[in-house]
Amino acid sequence: MGTVPGMDARADMRKRTMALHGHRVSYWEAGPTGNNTDPDSTDDVLVLLHGIAGSAQTWAPVLDELARRGDRRQVIAPDLLGHGESAKPRGDYSLGAYASGVRDLLVALGHHHATVVGHSLGGGVAMQFAYQFPQHCARLVLVDSGGLGREVSPFLRAVALPGAEWVLPLLTDHRIVSAATQIGRVMEKLPLPMRFTPSVHESARSFASLAESAGRDAFVHTVRSVIDVGGQRIDATDRLYLAAELPTLIVWGGRDTMIPVEHGRHAAATIAGSELAVFESAGHFPHCDEPQRFTDLLIDFLNRTTPARLNPDDLAHQLADLRDAPDIPTPEHDPEQGADSATKADPDQGAHQDEGR
């Protein structure tokens, strides 16, 4: 246990570690102590998931705002494996593995039901969590989330290129990171209009974390699990209809240059009953650029909505309804293209063809 930089306002914030499956998991925890072993409990647990190359530190402005309001909600903000102070093993860095890790952490802490807030990569993990473990998900909050369309920043696409792992060490050399840090400190002393925005600061902090070889390797593995040279490989839009019974809030920065705001607009139009808030002046980290507004919005959403009580049977019923849906027509065979073209279409190919619409 220890103190958490940037979290002085919340006296009950505790930094803890736990060994899960033999790996160190670091997390921040605030609110009432003690385990709750009742899976039907209505305790209002809030889980905050950071983005790629980030850490739980990104949520410090929001946690400070919660503290300023005297909010006593139980909050858990982990460093995902491969990030922050958690272990960085050679292993599975897929969305499914991350979602399982979040579930295991929650259950190990005695929680069985939570509102999951995910930023960027964390948004993809949050959606995967809701899909894999609907019985554990009370609400869903997506903040500039990955997994909702093809487009993503050129830098992340470049990391998917062969040989990127050999170039990154040159770009993240400690001398370059140190110089960039010094520039940032100078900029913070300049008049407000000339300072770096919090989004730029968070991006720089994420980049600085890649100076460590283990973190850099985990970053490359994570990127390649969700992104290729053409953009995002994982697209949840074909399953968003399953979230119709799950209270969902989508928040986006209108000036996000990492993932376009159009992804959020499309997701909001697809998920029945969902809510969308666009912070027009914010970048990829709207919760850092405008923490007071973000926290107001989050608390209002939590207070207004009733936590979902879903179970795997609900998902089974939804999927069973698809059996009566019309079949997707198979493209007609062109005899001129030869026998190889007559093989039966893979259903997954249809899903990939819908990406980016």
For 275-318, write each residue's pLDDT tens digit: 999 999 999 999 999 999 999 999 999 999 999 998 877 777 77
Q: What pLDDT sits at residue 350?
A: 36
State the pTM of this model: 0.80
Q: Which pLDDT does position 195 carry in this prediction? A: 44
pLDDT of residue 315: 72
The active-site residue, picked from 120, 199, 203, 209, is 120
Can you tell me which residue has the tokens 């666009």? Answer: 278
Between 191 and 71, the more confident residue is: 71
Asked if the model's pLDDT at residue 322 lies above 60, the reply is yes
Mean pLDDT of the chain: 80
Q: Where are the domains of the chain?
A: 14-150+235-316
pLDDT of residue 306: 95
End-to-end CA distance of the chain: 47
Six-digit token pair at 355?
Answer: 């990406």
Query: Please, which residues have CB within 8 angstroms of residue 300's CB and are 6 or more apart in sequence?
Result: none
- Range of lowest pLDDT (37-46, 98-107, 232-241, 285-294): 37-46
Q: 256 catalytic, yes or no? A: yes
Sign of the C-alpha dihedral, residues 262, 264, 270, 274? negative
Residue 120 appears among annotated catalytic residues: yes
Q: For this structure, is 348 an active site residue? A: no
Residue 10 has pLDDT above 90, yes or no: no
Mean pLDDT along residues 16-38:
82
Closest CA to 207 of 260, 254, 156: 156
Task: Quote the tokens at residue 170.
Answer: 């040159």
Kindly report, residue by residue over 131-189, the tens digit of the pLDDT. 999 999 999 999 999 999 999 988 888 888 887 656 655 455 454 445 445 444 444 44
Q: What is the pLDDT of residues 83-104, one digit of tens each?
A: 999 999 988 999 999 999 999 9
**Does residue 329 register a pLDDT over 90?**
no
User: Furthest-apart CA pair in the chain: how many Å?
Assistant: 73
Which entry of 119, 136, 263, 284 is annotated as an active-site residue?
284
pLDDT > 70: what percent of the chain? 71
Residue 61 in this model has a pLDDT that exceeds 60: yes
Q: Which is the catalytic residue, given 256, 263, 287, 289?
A: 256
Write down the pLDDT at residue 287. 97
What's residue 23's pLDDT?
Answer: 96
Give me the pLDDT at residue 27, please: 97
> Which of 66-70, 246-250, 327-331 has the least mean pLDDT?
327-331
State the average pLDDT over residues 193-218: 71
Q: What is the band of 42 on the pLDDT scale with cuts at 50, 70, 90?
A: very low
Q: What is the band of 238 on the pLDDT scale with cuts at 50, 70, 90? A: very high
| 43: nearest Cα among 25, 56, 31, 54 | 31
Count CB atoms within 10 A of the CB of residue 176.
Answer: 14
On whether the 14-150+235-316 domain is CATH 3.40.50.1820, my answer is: yes
The confidence score (pLDDT) of residue 72 equals 82
Least confident of 30-44, 227-241, 332-346: 332-346
